[in-house]
Amino acid sequence: MALHPELLQILCCPVCKGGLVVLGAEEGLLCSACQLVYPVRDEIPVMLVEEAVPQAKWEAGAREVER
């Protein structure tokens, strides 16, 4: 099942309140302004700043924040 289009319309970046772009096969939501990717796990967007992955690391293959 895909992310619901209405959900994607109301979601925004929790940092800058900017719009988000769906990445790949709906595996992440990118905020171009902040260059952060919010992961989608089990079809649920994880919109926590603490879970966001910098875009450069996401593109390098990291899907989780290093702790």
List the chain domain ranges. Answer: 5-59
pLDDT tens digit string along 7-64?
Answer: 989 999 999 999 999 998 899 999 999 999 999 999 999 999 999 999 999 999 998 8
User: Which pLDDT score is estimated for 1?
Assistant: 60
User: Which pLDDT score is estimated for 2?
Assistant: 81
User: Which pLDDT score is estimated for 57?
Assistant: 95
User: Which pLDDT score is estimated for 49?
Assistant: 97
User: Which pLDDT score is estimated for 65?
Assistant: 85
3-state DSSP helix/strand/coil % of the chain, to nearest 5? 20, 25, 55
Q: From 3.40.630.10, 2.20.25.10, 3.40.930.10, 3.40.50.20, which CATH number describes the 5-59 domain?
A: 2.20.25.10
How far is C-alpha 22 from the geometric centre of its chain's CA atoms?
7
What is the model's pTM? 0.92
